[in-house]
Amino acid sequence: MSTAIAEVMNVIHRYVPTNFRPKVGMILGSGLASIAEQITNPISIPYQALPGLEPGHVAGHAYLLVAGHLNDVPVVCLKGRLHLYEGAHYESIRTLVRIVKYMGAHAVVITGAAGSLQPQVGPGEIMMITDHINFQPGNPLLGPNDESIGPRFTSLEDAYDSAFQEILRNVANRLHIPLANGVYLSTLGPSFETPAEIRAFQKWGADAIGMSVVPEVIIARHCGLRVACLAAITNLAVGLSEEKVTHEGTLHYGDLAARKLVKLIPEFIKEASSGLE
């Protein structure tokens, strides 16, 4: 464990008992903070209380680490993420994701708001991410590698856990929640995409587009965390609808999608956690 992450964990354990070991972590995107409200006996730590971390400044993100129980399963939740477009550095994003690992979790559920490139999957729907295209500059694993965390060269062939995908499908069917699936393409942002870019991305095989998720998935897989990923569809991508793409719309439709995720995620975590030891 690096000195930097050791300092962060020391602070966390001032708030969270050292014998608290979450099975699953969660990263919540724009408009999805309501999921964390289901956590019982929560212990909250502001990001700014952790060495080297500063909160972001995007509406819809609370920037809290929350530890507690969700559906009787011990969890740690990152209530708000850091984005490269805000000027956040990969080091901060790596620290946040690795906190989940060092607290003891075996898996992480990553959520995010996304635009849909599938006209039949509109605002307010949920898409399970099965693969990704990294269109952000660089890679969060650039630089010297710490072999105690993960290998120099990390395979992403199974980045999105196939067993978790099957559980998500089964839970969604049981709850009568429509669940699309597709490939997520991550851009830098903060500007939205042009119609020409969307047409190009469709030809590449992208089904959803956003400004996050992918760096966190790469970091999670590097340190051995299994990944499930759900996108809250907040708009049809530009050029596919007459409605203008705005962040206000992201928050509005993110809230509609969150009403489905607050049912889906706790049941998924309960079912998936039985195989996490």
CB 68 within 8 A of CB 56: no
Catalytic residue among 7, 54, 86, 271: 86
Catalytic residue among 4, 34, 69, 85: 85
Q: Which residues contact 129 (CB under 8 A, 6 or more apart)?
A: 160, 181, 182, 183, 184, 208, 213, 229, 230, 231
Q: Catalytic residue at 132?
A: no
The alpha helices in 1-89, defined as continuous H runs, are: 3-15
Q: Catalytic residue at 63?
A: no
Catalytic residue among 113, 114, 180, 206: 113
Q: Catalytic residue at 44?
A: no
Catalytic residue among 26, 61, 125, 132: 61
Catalytic residue among 181, 186, 212, 273: 212
Q: Catalytic residue at 105?
A: no
Catalytic residue among 7, 54, 92, 247: 247
Instruction: Report d(CA 254, CA 125) in Å as an integer.
Output: 9
Q: What secondary structure does DSSP assign to 214-237, as a single string?
A: HHHHHHHHHTT-EEEEEEEEEEEP
Q: Catalytic residue at 86?
A: yes
Catalytic residue among 36, 83, 114, 253: 83
Catalytic residue among 235, 257, 267, 273: 235
State both tokens at 275.
């195989």
Catalytic residue among 127, 211, 257, 272: 211
The torsion angles phi and psi of 273, rounded to 5 degrees, stand at -65, -25
Catalytic residue among 26, 30, 114, 132: 30
Q: Catalytic residue at 61?
A: yes
Catalytic annotation, residues:
30, 61, 83, 85-86, 113, 211-212, 235, 247
